[in-house]
Structures are given as structure tokens and as C-alpha cells.
A and B are shown apart, each in its own frame.
Chain A
């Protein structure tokens, strides 16, 4: 059975259909890329999956949970994490605190224990700090551990954004343009991180990316969106040959 299934999802804002009858099926452990021109509805689809938008029509399910009308924090609880396109970190606190914030649902202790910082509170904090340190190690963020996120360079903040999503220990990771605006070197690093996430953690990844070179290289399957509709889907090499895709990207012959 598919891990995530998006069935016939339509999302309308007034008279405009941002998504129009979209079907997506994701199997565990896959790397799925969603590509398409600007305004095709890629981020809208991610917003529907993560609960920030609710589809006007259709149904989204993840491992037997119905996500169609669930709120973002409920969906996070099911094991879906997301890195935002326009960095949405907690600017006023350190990298470490940002990642500890992602452990919120794992930190189980009472307010009484927390107010004296003793017993369960102290134990859970240390346990979860260890998990967070693993992620810091994994994403190579050691030099920035205690730095304020607001003061970090763009490329590092993008990495913190992914690290924070990883700290949730998700089963499905949604990455919205994690490489946008990065240098070639930073992009290569990020690709390596994504491949490591798949290999070491077995996390399913849905990736939105404009760099077709990266997409064609690393994806298991690709969905191409245009004007809110899936115009092509399949293996990267098949999609690249698809006439509908070529038309969407470079325009028709006449």
C-alpha cells in the first residue's frame, strides 16, 4: 500500500484552481520530485499535504490517517515534516534551540517537573539533546550550534531549515526548494545530504526543485505540474522526453 496518496485533489481560491484533480502516490523510501513552471501549484500541493491548506475537493491519506482536514501540528504528529521554501526559522534563538523546538512532541514531562527542572524534565531534555546533536553532526552544523539563526548566512539557514525538519524524525520529509539561491558547492552539499537522508534514515522524500539537472539525477520518480494539473509522471528519463513537459517548459512549436 502506498505511504502517501493524494487523490483527485482540487484547491480553489475564489474562481482560480491552484490545483485541479491532482493524483500523487508515494511509496515508502522513494525520492519523489515535483517540478513545473512558476505558479504551477507545487507549493500549494505541499501546503495541502502538510495541512496549511485544506483541499476544496479530493482526499489525502498518509499511512491510514486522513490528512484532508487535519491541522499542521496533527499532521506533524503522524510523521510528516516540512522544510519551508522561504526560510521560516525561529530567528530569535540559536540553531540548537531551533532544533530542540522540533523535539517538542517528544519532550514529555509535566509543567511541575519543568518548573523545577528535575527528574523527567532534565532526563528528557538530555535524551532529546542527544538526538538533536546527531542531526547537527549529520548536517554538519557544529560550528553554528549556539549562533543566533537570524545572523547566519543564507546557505547555512537553508541547511538549518532541513536539519530542523529532520529533528522531527519524520517518516516523510517534504523539501520545498532546499537548493534555491545556493551556490554550486552548497547545492552539491545539499544533494549529498538528501541522498544520505534516504540511505541512512530510510525517510521518504518529496522534493520540489527547479534545478532539472539535480532532479533528473537523484529522483526515483518525477511529477510535472502545470496550471494545477499533473501533465506528466514517471521515471526522470521518460518525463524529460514527454512532449507535454517540453511544451510547458520551452513552449509549443507553433
Chain B
């Protein structure tokens, strides 16, 4: 007999059924529980925690975009923070004239255009050479912002305060408000991401990653697909940039520097390249590690503080680097692989086989 709560067998009778993502009641229920949990979570957290939680969600959105470009299409992108920066600066420029819900897609679209332009070299070059082209974009972006008076030459550009349905977002509720906005945007865009990946758009990304000669023979234009990958990934980064701008109340060039691009790559790898859940695990793991190491470094300073060596401030980058190296050696498929193993264990649970 069919038990709708677990996968006790294959009861699929149509191809449409075979494409469902949450097939059993338990899987559907766990999704609902997770979403509701995320909605009530702020009730149990203080403002300082909310700030970190917001940051993780915003980074998750950006890493989602990086996963499209690097994880699925296989195009190494060392300029992702610059795409995010394009979105943030667009937000800073248009926010005084538009409501925030319109600023987000506009920022995304402008970043997508930048992404498409950066993708153009992908028509001719591949692999490391393309990575260098994205690095060039990162540097050009930083230089251009640093030299344009309209963007305060990289200095702080304040974001206007948001009024939503007559409700003024102020100091007290700032992180709570942006948590819910980011959460809704993230869920919608993750949903779109998952769907795109099981249709022709996502498949073609994987095709150019695995074998672009064969992709060509299958009737796809590999060049156009790569430009599309950059544009779509940059769209995600652009929306994340606009959210980051609102969240941090100002746009500063340091938030979109090369270091942040590297951090995004690290998050994507630690989370698991080319996975949806990895885009959440990576930022969460590295940001929480960073916060904990900060606390830890104060403790270290108390115990051991030789003159001339700043042990405390060395701990954070050290932990970051160590985490990446350990993941590359022991779990190159990232945290998403642990998630996969956990899920496959519980798939038939409580039955043995």
C-alpha cells in the first residue's frame, strides 16, 4: 500500500509526477515547518543577532548568483562583488526617486546588463583566462567608482530611510524589517533558481560546463549561453547589492571589493559548488565562523599577547583560510554533500530499505 509520508516505492504514473521536487508529505511538511520557523525566528533573537542573520541571507542571495555562473555554468568569476556593487550603486542612485520594492529589480537589471557585458569575453576565452577577465572587471569597477565624483569616489553614499505602507523603518526595527524583505526575496529567487535549473535554461548552463563542443552540437549557442549565465548570476548579485545597501544604510566601496569576491567564492565552495542548499550553508558557515572567531580572539588576547604580534586579529583570517583548505581536502563537495547524505538516509526512514 502506498504511504504518502515516505518513499516506500515508486508510485509515479506520469512524467509530470516524476518532476515533482517535494514528493512525499514529510518532505512537503518539512518545507512548511522550515519556512514558518524562519518567519518566527526573529522573535527569539536580539538585534545584534538579527544583523548577522540579515547579512547571511543577503550573502546567500549573492552566492546563489555566483553558483549560477561558477557552479552551474563552470565560469570562474572573481568579480562577483563588483556585480553586487553595481546593484548597490544603482540602488543608491535611484532609491531617492523610487519605492524600495522597485529599487530591487532595477538594481538587478542594471547588474545583469553589466554581467552580460563582462560575459562577452566568454565568447572567445575560457577557463583561467576568463577568470582573469572577471578579475579585470572587479578592478575596473573599483577604479571607476573611486574616480567618479557622482559616486562620492567610493565614500559613503547614504540610503534614504524606507517608508512601507505608512510604516516608518527606523533604528529599532531596521534589521527586523530587512530580514523579512530579504527572506521573501530570497525564497522567491531560490524558487525561481530551482525551477530554471530543471528547464532548458538551467540545463544549457550545465551543458556548456560539462562539454561546450557537445552543447554546440545539441543546437545551443555556447557563447550566448555563457553571456546568459553571467547576466542571470549578476541579476541575483545586483538584487543582493541593493539589499545590502539598504541593510548597511550606506554604500561604501569597501563592501564590494576584491576581498569580498574571494569570500563569495569561498562560500560557494564551502557550501558546495553547483547546489542550491550550498548557497545557504556556505555564507551561514563562514559568517558564523567569523563571528565566533572574533569572540575567540578577544579571549586569546587575554591569555596570550606577546609584544609586537597581534595574535587576536590574526585568528579570524587564519580560521577562514584553514576552513577553506580543510574543505578542499576533506569535503570538496562542501556542506551540501553532508545534507545530501543526511537526506538520503531519511528518505526511506524508518524503513531499512
Contacts and interface: CB of A to CB of B under 8 A. Distances in A.
Contacts of B201: 111, 114
Given A116-B191, A117-B198, 8 more contacts: A73-B216, A88-B211, A101-B204, A101-B206, A104-B207, A114-B196, A115-B192, A126-B19
Q: Interface extent on A, as a size class?
A: 35 or more
B14 to A, nearest CB: 8
B124 interface: no
Contact of B16 (A52, A77, A102, A126): A126
B211 A91 contact: yes
A213 B77 CA distance: 51
Contacts of A52: 213, 216
B15 A90 contact: no
Contact of A82 (B18, B195, B210, B217): B217
Interface in B194-226: 195-196, 198-201, 203-204, 206-207, 209-211, 213-222
B213 A107 contact: no
Contact of A114 (B14, B19, B200, B209): B200
Contact of A104 (B198, B203, B209): B203
B103 to A, nearest CB: 21
B203 A114 contact: no
A216 interface: no
A101 B18 CA distance: 17
Given A117-B195, A121-B199, A125-B19, A104 B210 contact: no
Nearest to B209: A92
Contact of B207 (A76, A101, A117, A121): A101
A76 B222 CA distance: 13
A-B complex: 9 closest residue pairs judged by Cβ atoms:
A115-B192, A76-B219, A90-B210, A114-B199, A72-B216, A117-B195, A107-B200, A105-B219, A88-B214
**Mostly helix, strand, loop or mixed at chain A's interface?**
helix
Contacts of A50: 217
B272 to A, nearest CB: 13
Contacts of B195: 114-117, 121
A25 to B, nearest CB: 23
29 contacts: A50-B217, A52-B216, A71-B216, A76-B219, A84-B213, A84-B214, A88-B211, A88-B214, A90-B210, A93-B203, A93-B206, A93-B210, A97-B206, A101-B215, A102-B219, A104-B204, A104-B220, A107-B199, A107-B200, A109-B200, A114-B201, A115-B192, A116-B191, A122-B19, A125-B19, A125-B199, A129-B18, A130-B15, A133-B15
**Mostly helix, strand, loop or mixed at chain B's interface?**
helix
B211 A90 contact: yes
A205 interface: no
B82 to A, nearest CB: 24
Most chain A C-beta atoms within 10 Å of own C-beta, residue among B203, B204, B211, B217: B217
Contacts of A122: 16, 19
Contacts of A126: 14-16, 19
Interface string A122-150: 10011001100100000000000000000
B217 A76 contact: yes
A89 interface: yes
Interface of B: 14-16, 18-19, 191-192, 195-196, 198-201, 203-204, 206-207, 209-211, 213-222
Interface of A: 50-52, 71-73, 76-77, 81-82, 84, 88-93, 97, 100-105, 107, 109, 111, 114-117, 121-122, 125-126, 129-130, 133, 164, 168
B206 A90 contact: yes
A213 B278 CA distance: 53
A198 to B, nearest CB: 21
Contacts of B217: 50, 72-73, 76, 81-82, 84, 88
A70 to B, nearest CB: 11
Given A82-B217, A129-B15, A89 B200 contact: no
Nearest to B221: A73
Contacts of A168: 218-219
Contact of A101 (B19, B198, B213, B218): B218
